[in-house]
Amino acid sequence: MEKGLLEKTGKPLEHWIQVVADSKIEKHKAIIDFLKAKHGFTYGYANFIAMKARKADAASHNPEDLLANQYAGKEVLRPIYDKLVSVISAFGNDITQTPKKDSVSVIRKKQFALIKPATKTRIDLGLKLKGKPTTEKLGDSGPFGSMCTHRVQLTSVDQVDDDLAGWLKEAYEAAL
């Protein structure tokens, strides 16, 4: 996006961030509307600039800080997260883990899992397993909507078992 922005406008991202700062507009949608109306941006570029100007995108934050903030007050869940990452990392070296403010996306060529500390006592693991029937343990997507097809609620490291590893591997293999 940043390279395309420079090619499209002849001005770097820093210029557009300054334009937003000078406008004194703070709300995300208002920034998008301003950039579209005043500077002729498409939604995609306007959204990109708005995210960067507000430092609201994951790339504007240190990944370790994002993780630390996710698990602040939920430290009991961090071993579950660490175990999930260990299982997932064993699948191959083509996996990207992208921490966001409230979750971590796990991506191969496509996102195949989402790890979210949902409460102080539970991690919700979203999986993309199209066509897989739900079970008592492998529930419907719940709060993940279309991002994931299934959700597993985890409250203990012991729940990261062979069944779960198999579902993660299945989601990984389908994410080509």
Lookup: tokens for 12: 């770097």
Query: What pLDDT, on the 0 to 100 scale, is given for residue 60?
Result: 61
Query: What pLDDT, on the 0 to 100 scale, is given for residue 111?
Result: 93
Query: What pLDDT, on the 0 to 100 scale, is given for residue 59?
Result: 60
Average pLDDT over residues 113-128: 97
Please name the amino acid found at residue 160.
V
Lookup: tokens for 20: 């937003």
**Spatial separation of the C-alpha atoms in residues 93 and 96, rounded to whole Å:** 8
Please write the tens of the pLDDT for every residue from 126-139. Answer: 999 999 999 999 99
What is the dihedral sign for C-alpha 144, 172, 104, 45?
Answer: negative
Average pLDDT, the chain: 92
* Residue among 170, 114, 166, 120 at smallest CA distance from 143: 114
Query: What pLDDT, on the 0 to 100 scale, is given for residue 101?
Result: 83
Q: Cβ contacts of residue 30 below 8 Å, gap of 6+?
A: none
- Decide which of 2 and 88 is more confident: 88
**Spatial separation of the C-alpha atoms in residues 134 and 1, rounded to whole Å:** 38
SS3 category, 15:
helix
Q: Is the pTM of the predicted complex or chain greater than 0.75?
A: no
Max CA pair span of the chain: 55
Query: What pLDDT, on the 0 to 100 scale, is given for residue 98?
Result: 86
What is the dihedral sign for C-alpha 87, 89, 95, 98?
Answer: positive
